[in-house]
């Protein structure tokens, strides 16, 4: 299977995205890059649906994603991170995207 991209969208409590980004940057950004590998993008919304964090990660396969996510969620840094951001979170959505043949994920 060709590479896949996971797109996660977090709907946050109004006005909490600056705090989310601060906590994320100060605690697990490097860990997530180390374990998950290819970060395709990390964004927050400014126009349209507000108070959202959207990030995308490329994986070789669904199995690769499952293995990497299991490693991430077992790490003490991640276990400490989640209670810090959970109160800011209203909803989470995850999509698996398959690249079009003319736009492979590198």
Question: In angstroms, rounded to a whole number, what is the distance separating the alpha carbons of residues 20 and 97?
Answer: 25
In this structure, which topology does domain 4-97 adopt according to CATH? Alpha-Beta Plaits (3.30.70)
Per-residue pLDDT reduced to its tens digit, 7-47: 999 999 999 999 999 999 999 999 999 999 899 999 999 99
Q: Sketch the domain layout of the chain as residue ranges.
A: 4-97
Question: In angstroms, rounded to a whole number, what is the distance separating the alpha carbons of residues 68 and 76?
Answer: 15
pTM of the model: 0.88
Question: In angstroms, rounded to a whole number, what is the distance separating the alpha carbons of residues 74 and 32?
Answer: 12
Per-residue pLDDT reduced to its tens digit, 79-99: 999 999 999 999 999 999 999
């Amino acid at each position: 299977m060709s590479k896949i991209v996971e797109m996660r969208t977090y709907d946050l409590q109004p006005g909490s995205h600056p705090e989310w980004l601060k906590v994320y940057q100060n605690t697990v950004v490097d860990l997530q890059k180390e374990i998950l590998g290819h970060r395709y993008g990390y964004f927050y919304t400014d126009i349209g649906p507000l108070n959202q964090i959207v990030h995308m990660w490329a994986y070789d396969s669904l199995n690769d994603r499952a293995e990497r996510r299991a490693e991430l969620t077992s790490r003490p840094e991640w276990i400490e991170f989640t209670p810090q951001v959970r109160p800011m979170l209203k909803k989470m959505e995850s999509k698996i995207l398959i690249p079009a043949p003319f736009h492979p994920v590198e």
